[in-house]
Structure 1
Amino acid sequence: MSSVLTAVLGVAGAAVAAIVVVEASHWAMIRIGRRSALAADLARNMHRPFLVTLTLIAIQQAVRVWGGDFPGRTGVVHALVIGCIAAFGWLVAALLLVLEDMTLARWRTDVPDNLRRRRIKTQVVMLRRVTVASIVILTVGVVLMTFPGIRALGASVLASAGLVSVIAALAAQSTLGNVFAGIQLAFSDAIRVDDVVVVEGEWGRIEEITLTYIAVQIWDDRRLILPTSYFTTKPFQNWTRSTSAVLGTAEIDVDWSTPIEPLRAELRRVCENSELWDERVCVLQVTEATGGTIRLRALVSAADAGALWDLRCLVRERLVGWMWENQRGALPRMRTQLDELDDGVAPVRQARRVDAPADARVFSGGDDGEARGAAFGGADGHAPGTDDTVAATTGR
């Protein structure tokens, strides 16, 4: 009876002592945390795992020292050992997560120039997932090794490891490919969290990067979920890989008679009066002159993709409104010939042959044209593939 009482008191005393030590340490960390963010984070996130770990270790040692021999002692000790291993894995994971949170807090991404910060955030988030998965696997492995039967099967497991690895690789080929692709993306700097991308014809922002998939937040708040291997095997647009500042265009079709300089001055005025413009690029150019209209392209710049979208819409709106108020004749018009007999065009007369001037010819007229004509002509003076092709097809 005295031995049982001694064992109970010993176990209880060890547990109480462990709890007292943990609570005293927690109180001290809270006091230090008033001046240190790291200490406050440790006190908040490591209190429970540290309490469970130290208490289980103290109880296990008390059972070994004062427990003596009692029915089921081996099972109790084994259960305490497994609990200590699991609690220690929890403690290590909590410590690593605290350190990763401190890194993320130091490199915040809600600042204007956040390119390096987004890169570090992406890598830390990926390392967090790898770290947690590794700790769980190691903890489960150590727990299984505490069973004697599993240790005895180790030799046979190692003997068949080759076949098992081949089968597992074939069965999990896609999953493993995504995992390795996620690790590659985290350190290759191809994409980062908060990057603006165009994927599958959708414009959005990288919201989350995991080991198996990537979530893209589309501009209308939809989510596009893609496997990580997509970004290592298919092309996509990254608008913010080197900098967040981007260029954009607003195109307008106008009539051939449109004066360009007043529109160019209006574009400059719109950009200078808008806080969306970053004062880098403001250009108006004629990019096409085909059909019945000419195409004007307004090229503008902004600090980020969101501001660029609003600036492009603003430029298009203000230019259209200004043209309607000041240059209605510049609006696109369709020209139609109504009278074929009196169209103002002189009748075509048969005239004597007049050679084209030298600046209207490419393969003749001048030493350069004659040399070019000789290079592209055949031995008899005509271009190969013309008369020869006709003769071959007609049989002559």
Structure 2
Amino acid sequence: MENVLRPLIVIGGSVVLTLLIGWATDRLLSQADRRHSETPLWGLLRRGRIPYHLVLFAALLRGSYDEAKVLEAHEVGIGRTLTLVLIGSAAWLVIRIAAAVVETTYSRYARAHHDAARVRRVRTQVTLITRVVAAIVGVVAVAAMLLTFPAMRAAGASLLASAGIIGIVAGVAAQSTLSNMFAGLQIAFGDMVRIGDTVVVDGEWGTVEEITLTFLTVRTWDERRITMPVSYFTSKPFENWSRGTPQMTGIVHWHLDHSAPVEAMREKLRDILRECPAWDGRAYGLDVTDTTPNTMEVRALVTAKDADDVWTVRVTVREAMIRWLVAEHPYALPRVNTADAVLPGPRPSPDGARPRRAVDTPRTERG
């Protein structure tokens, strides 16, 4: 009977204690979250419930497993398995706690500063710091798991002896990966590009959606994702429309007839912009910038607070101006002249004689 009750008490007690301690901790975090609504720390810490329960259960069961007397023939294997679970869940819990602390710090910074560019820069740095911490904790956890095996501890001396050669070989083999990692850190702390920036790369316009240590994702205006190595942004030129201030100036072109009412178009442009919510009111203008034998090029300059709004202003101005020209000044639209050319008439001679035309040719008499 004791052989049955002892395992049940040990395993069941570990499960019950895990649930009770986990429930009590979650209640405390929930109350702290309600009392301190100004910080998201306590709510973020509640996301670590699963690894926290695994740490509690593995620690309790590992400490009391010797008393359970279950599967004594496999005691070493089961004990090592519980140790591996404990190490892995502890690493998972540390990553969750670090992410909660970093996210809370970013939230406080975002509330205290209203500069969107600076907030995006900090967001990029926070994201990469979280990934670096997760990578370091993961490597340490894997190393700790390997050291639980006696064979790995015995081979430690030989591994250290050959570490120099292995490091050189690994550095040559992973040269591109290492360059991308350093480029990711350079982007994060060099303020070259940030999450949320509007960029143009290889002729594609989009918004930076994700930055990691090795790659960067750009979401284009048509919701495609372009993934490229971060070393691209440290080795090639690219356009960053969000650098400095996000304000932008847009250009709208029309090709019109030479008789187009330019002054009336300036007044109409002002009326269109006043009714367009995307226009920021900073500046506008309309000028004739070029001419051809058949048309002239009219250019309008409009301003907006960011790239999305300047696109809205441009299409609004273009469509409204075309509708107005069609309705009020149709003669201003470009036309293809298909009429016959009118030659100038003959000029009368001073003595009243018949004027000579271009087709008249002098005659020569034969003797």
TM-score range, shorter chain: 0.7 to 0.9
Q: Which 5+ residue runs of structure 2 have no aligned equivalent?
A: 348-367
Q: Which residue of 2 aligns with 1:370?
A: none
1:190 paired residue among 192, 195, 210: 192
> In terms of mean alpha carbon deviation, does 241-250 or 332-341 score higher?
332-341
Q: Any conservation in 2 of the 1:182–1:212 contact (CA below 8 Å)?
A: yes
**TM-score if structure 2 supplies the norm length?**
0.80
Q: Which residue of 1 aligns with 2:351?
A: none
Q: Which residue of 2 aligns with 1:390?
A: none
Structure 2 counterpart of 1:148, which letter? P
How do 1:19-168 residues align onto structure 2 when only pairs under 5 Å count? 19-36=19-36, 37-43=40-46, 45-63=47-65, 71-103=73-105, 106=108, 114-168=116-170
Question: For 1:332 and 1:226, how far apart are their aligned partners in 2?
Answer: 44
User: Alpha-carbon deviation of 1:248?
Assistant: 0.4
User: Alpha-carbon deviation of 1:88?
Assistant: 1.3
Q: Any conservation in 1 of the 2:54–2:89 contact (CA below 8 Å)?
A: yes
Report the aligned-residue RMSD.
3.4
Q: Which residue of 2 aligns with 1:244?
A: 246
How do 1:338-357 residues align onto structure 2 when only pairs under 5 Å count? 342=344
Q: Any conservation in 2 of the 1:247–1:302 contact (CA below 8 Å)?
A: yes
Question: In 2 relative to 1, CA 203–13 (structure 1 residues): closer, same or farther, beyond 3 Å?
Answer: closer
Structure 1 counterpart of 2:44, which letter? D
User: Alpha-carbon deviation of 1:298?
Assistant: 0.3
User: Alpha-carbon deviation of 1:142?
Assistant: 0.9
Question: For 2:337 and 2:75, how far apart are their aligned partners in 1?
Answer: 102
Question: For 1:260 and 1:107, how far apart are their aligned partners in 2?
Answer: 50
How do 1:153-302 residues align onto structure 2 when only pairs under 5 Å count? 153-302=155-304
User: Alpha-carbon deviation of 1:277?
Assistant: 0.8
Question: For 2:261 and 2:345, how far apart are their aligned partners in 1?
Answer: 27
Number of residues of Structure 1 aligned to a counterpart in Structure 2: 343
SS in 2 for 1:126: helix
1:320 paired residue among 299, 319, 322: 322
Question: In 2 relative to 1, CA 65–192 (structure 1 residues): closer, same or farther, beyond 3 Å?
Answer: same
SS in 1 for 2:35: coil
Q: Any conservation in 1 of the 2:6–2:67 contact (CA below 8 Å)?
A: no
Q: Any conservation in 2 of the 1:337–1:343 contact (CA below 8 Å)?
A: no
Q: Any conservation in 2 of the 1:282–1:298 contact (CA below 8 Å)?
A: yes
Q: Which 5+ residue runs of structure 1 have no aligned equivalent?
A: 346-396
